[in-house]
A and B are shown apart, each in its own frame.
Chain A
Amino acid sequence: MTYIPISPNERDAMLKTVGVKSLDDLFDAVPKKHRFPKLDLPPALTEMEAASLLSEMANTNENVREHMISFLGAGAYNHYVPSVVDHMLRRGEFYTAYTPYQPEISQGTLQAIFEYQSLMTNLTGMEVSNASHYDGATATAEAVNLAFAQFRGRRKKIVMSPTVHPQYREVIRTYSQGMGLEEAGDDATADLEVGPGALMSLIDENTMLVVVQYPDFFGRIHDYTKLIEDAHAKGSLVCVVANPTALLMLKTPAEMGADIVVGEAQPFGIPLWYGGPYLGFFTTKKSYVHKMAGRLIGETVDNRGQRSYVLTLTAREQHIKRERATSNICTNQGLLALASAVYMSSLGKTGLQQVANLCYQKAHYAAAELSKIDGFGLCFSEPFFHEFVLCCPKPASEVNAYLLDHGIFGGYDLGTDYPSLENHLLVAVTEMNSKQEIDTLVEVLKEME
């Protein structure tokens, strides 16, 4: 299959205009001994053959809609995506456009992202949102970059709760390799029973940023107001990594005083897609906008007096500031920001509240039923939203293997990241899990030997 729309006659006419005899003659600048390597790749398929091959590969997977009952969450959630979302995304005008550098002919993307920014600020309660990051983990790493830039290297300590998503903490460690940071709290062997209070003693005058998760990785809802007050008293900034579905119901991190609220917006209209692409959101206070990475859309007027939108504060970005930029970020997740905007507006306030309520109700039903089984119980007593930790009578890996034989993904094995939690299963329940599925999980576990 080829997508090249040039006939042999046209090619020859073009070569003549250029003044060379053949296509190969265009490459004289390439070292001769390395020119035109023979590539060992499978022969080209037609569209029909490729469609069939890819279908076959996709069908090899067990997916959570057609084959499996799933209670996996841990940073990626199985939610219903209204049909309208993908219909809007499939408009070529949106998905085959580039970054809106020419605002006169990019108002569609610009206004849609401006609306996305507005939806995120109204959701988190913060004052500004950028046009998005790669995912929740890298958005959190960019919060560290913001804090580092804010203190110009005068403060060099970050305090991270061990109940921030383990992969997010890993990404922060990768990102901050060149900063010479002191890291505290990021200890998977710490006492995980204790709440945010345990972090307070780690915050000092050298602390630039405190990072906590809401609900935390174990699903627990903490009110961070006191922690944030204490961190502010020491002069530190606080970043809250939040789940957007939970924010539909819960007190906003802004009300608790957070300086930066980031997170993974995959639950808002983006399929599981085996882990990506997802959508990192980043919101903060207006006073930090100049230190924030990523693209930003602002309102203005055109020379005909029409309200319109442009990329603004671009002087912060890499193509102007080069090595002095806060971040090297160039691409955002534009199309997925659009997906989340369409998701939020098509469900609207009422539909979104219904989603949050269903998640909450079903998770609590599941938790109640599961903890009635002999040997099982809820590990923590704090309030939770749609994810909770189930203590099991044997290693979670064995429980999961048993459930897998019954067509169920039981949850995330916390022993993977926390050595002391090998008998602990992180269970997520969303509106996609029917009562029947929950009852099946309970029945199957009751039979486990």
Chain B
Amino acid sequence: MATIVEPTIFELSSPGRLGVTMPASDVPATALPPKNLLRSELPLPELAEVDVVRHYTRLSKFNYSVDDGFYPLGSCTMKYNPKINEDTCRLPGFLYTHPLQPIETVQGNLVLMYELQEWLKEISGFAGITLQPAAGAHGEFTGVLMMAAYHKSRNDTKRTKMLIPDAAHGTNPASAGMLGMSVVTIPSDERGNVDLKALEAACDDTVVGMMLTNPNTLGMFDEHIEKVVELVHKCGGLMYGDGANLNALLGIVRPGDVGFDVMHINLHKTFSVPHGGGGPGSGPVGVSKRLVDFLPSPLVGIVEEGDDEMEPLYGFITPKQSIGRMKAFHGHFGGGLVRAYTYISMHGPNGLKDISQYAVLNANYLQARLRGTYKIPYDRICMHEFVAEGAFEGSDVRALDIAKRLMDYNFHPPTNYFPLIVHEALMIEPTETENKDTLDRFADALIKIAEEARSQPELLHDAPHTTKFGRMDEVKAARELVLCCWLPENYESMR
């Protein structure tokens, strides 16, 4: 039997125990529906409030978070999440407005959304923005749908191929796959740029477009970006930008100016919306002029112009050739849009540029500190992240072992085994919210681990040692597939 460190909420249940209770009914009683429409039992836990608070507080302590320490997870932009955002998004005027209220009663929300649309347009250089997508991958799907709709509207029906570099996030090909497109992988050259010869060979009149992350997942800004865009546009394709790495570009370059046609923006990366242990995210999408009519509906717009005495009236508008609705209601308003709005308003144009400059400085500083100890396969000035090789000649230590050993030094490991084109990849993104001391301690730890890999490799193979939990048996999880638990009295019958 495995040791139980913390019982589940079901195991903590005790029949008859009461938690938060509701007031008595203040209306005359009505009979319940006929018995054949009622459930026979409700097998849910029974606990007191103190049981619940202690349980979830104990669980929280099993987590490592940005509030605990350095979290250099590549391509995830684990920056500090300002506390003021947590207060603004919970203002009663935002918390307690219903998505179907008449627009006259929610002008505060609509002005916020309208201004955020305008700000994101200005930051990204796009002509239109939808705030509806719920996350990055959802934004990607939105973008790919618009690309398909654009070609279809021109009766350009031959286009079925999506060009995707080998360094791309897995969501890119998956998004294209959802529309039945075939994916053509474009290799990277030795400097981490798109291989122009391979791209040119793939460009023809069957190309829907290209999905490019720039800077890419190697942290490299493509040195021939204008040529890449030109080649794709010349064959009639559209350029999709994966905005996962936008934290490197604020006030540095606007993707719309370079010729991108579509890009999703991860508010939960670049604009400080917390990651929440896996969500909710928020993934607005920007588009160039030729795609604005295809944006999802509805968008926020001015529905009645104002004048000297009257503020304009904000409301919803439907683009002419809209691809339709991507989710119910208006996007991740409270959790995503209000936090991002707060963050942008507190930075202004210079503050945003600082963010990207320092994100890039921190990455280059770490890269410089690790050069010589770790192989950096694409070694030039990087943007907000870089990729090192987590392997040493003559040692069987792998990137995974290094990642796990870092936990003993009280750091969250970098992303490992991604991008796929780097052997034993360790993808490191420090973000701008770390100071020099933290970066030095992290670099020192990695240098020490490189020594340990030679002198005491077993220390790495069994790592982590100082954490509450050790390495997990993932094979057992997949083979036995225990995906839920039950109340103790139901255990035998259900399992």
Q: Do A and B bind each other?
A: yes
Chain A residue, CB-CB nearest to B282: A277
Residue A423 is within 8 A (CB to CB) of chain B in the complex? no
Residue A207 is within 8 A (CB to CB) of chain B in the complex? no
Residue of B52, B276, B418, B473 near A94 (CB, 8 A) is B276
Q: Cβ of A131: which chain B residues have Cβ within 8 Å of it? A: 278
Is B21 within 8 A of A312, CB to CB?
A: no
Is B38 within 8 A of A250, CB to CB?
A: yes
Residue A76 is within 8 A (CB to CB) of chain B in the complex? yes
Is A91 within 8 A of B174, CB to CB?
A: no
User: Given A45-B345, A62-B101, A360-B30, is A308 in contact with B469 using a C-beta cutoff of 8 Å?
Assistant: yes
Is B412 within 8 A of A23, CB to CB?
A: no
Size category of the A interface is 35 or more
Q: Cβ of B170: which chain A residues have Cβ within 8 Å of it? A: 317-322, 325, 330
Measured in the bound complex, the distance between the Cα atoms of B141 and A335 in whole Å is: 23
What are 7 A-B pairs at a CB distance below 8 A? Answer: A5-B435, A24-B357, A55-B91, A100-B277, A132-B279, A335-B277, A404-B102
User: Given A31-B226, A249-B38, A355-B22, is A37 in contact with B257 using a C-beta cutoff of 8 Å?
Assistant: yes
User: Given A74-B100, A98-B78, A247-B39, is A26 in contact with B108 using a C-beta cutoff of 8 Å?
Assistant: no
Is A274 within 8 A of B27, CB to CB?
A: no
Residue A42 is within 8 A (CB to CB) of chain B in the complex? yes
Is B346 within 8 A of A1, CB to CB?
A: yes
Is A54 within 8 A of B91, CB to CB?
A: yes
Measured in the bound complex, the distance between the Cα atoms of B27 and A111 in whole Å is: 40
**Max chain B C-beta neighbours (<10 A), residue from A29, A307, A409:** A29
Is A4 within 8 A of B354, CB to CB?
A: yes
Residue A449 is within 8 A (CB to CB) of chain B in the complex? no
Is B29 within 8 A of A361, CB to CB?
A: yes
Q: In angstroms, how far is the closest chain B Cβ from the Cβ of A343?
A: 9
Is A20 within 8 A of B381, CB to CB?
A: yes
User: Given A72-B100, A105-B407, A348-B19, is A165 in contact with B33 using a C-beta cutoff of 8 Å?
Assistant: no
Measured in the bound complex, the distance between the Cα atoms of B61 and A107 in whole Å is: 9
Residue of A86, A93, A113, A274 near B109 (CB, 8 A) is A274
Size category of the B interface is 35 or more
Is B80 within 8 A of A3, CB to CB?
A: yes
Is A304 within 8 A of B279, CB to CB?
A: no
Is B145 within 8 A of A177, CB to CB?
A: yes
Q: Which of B240-266 contact A (CB under 8 A)?
A: 251-254, 257-258
Residue B286 is within 8 A (CB to CB) of chain A in the complex? no
Q: Which of B174-212 contact A (CB under 8 A)?
A: 174-183
Measured in the bound complex, the distance between the Cα atoms of B328 and A165 in whole Å is: 9
Is B325 within 8 A of A97, CB to CB?
A: no
Residue A201 is within 8 A (CB to CB) of chain B in the complex? no
Q: Cβ of A102: which chain B residues have Cβ within 8 Å of it? A: 64, 403, 407, 412-413
Is A275 within 8 A of B253, CB to CB?
A: no
User: Given A65-B92, A94-B63, A334-B277, is A58 in contact with B108 using a C-beta cutoff of 8 Å?
Assistant: yes
Q: Cβ of A87: which chain B residues have Cβ within 8 Å of it? A: 53
Measured in the bound complex, the distance between the Cα atoms of B125 and A31 in whole Å is: 15
Q: In angstroms, how far is the closest chain A Cβ from the Cβ of B429?
A: 11
Residue of B20, B174, B348, B464 near A44 (CB, 8 A) is B348
User: Given A2-B351, A31-B225, A39-B251, is A350 in contact with B59 using a C-beta cutoff of 8 Å?
Assistant: no
Measured in the bound complex, the distance between the Cα atoms of B274 and A95 in whole Å is: 6
Is B91 within 8 A of A134, CB to CB?
A: no
Q: Mark B324-339, 1 if CB is under 8 A from A, else 0.
A: 1111111111111010
Q: Which of A103-156 contact B (CB under 8 A)?
A: 103-109, 111-115, 117-119, 121-123, 127-129, 131-132, 134-138, 145
Residue A422 is within 8 A (CB to CB) of chain B in the complex? no
Is A325 within 8 A of B174, CB to CB?
A: yes
Residue B76 is within 8 A (CB to CB) of chain A in the complex? yes
User: Given A61-B97, A84-B52, A170-B324, is A301 in contact with B253 using a C-beta cutoff of 8 Å?
Assistant: no
Measured in the bound complex, the distance between the Cα atoms of B43 and A318 in whole Å is: 34
Is B470 within 8 A of A104, CB to CB?
A: yes
Residue of A127, A273, A301 near B473 (CB, 8 A) is A301
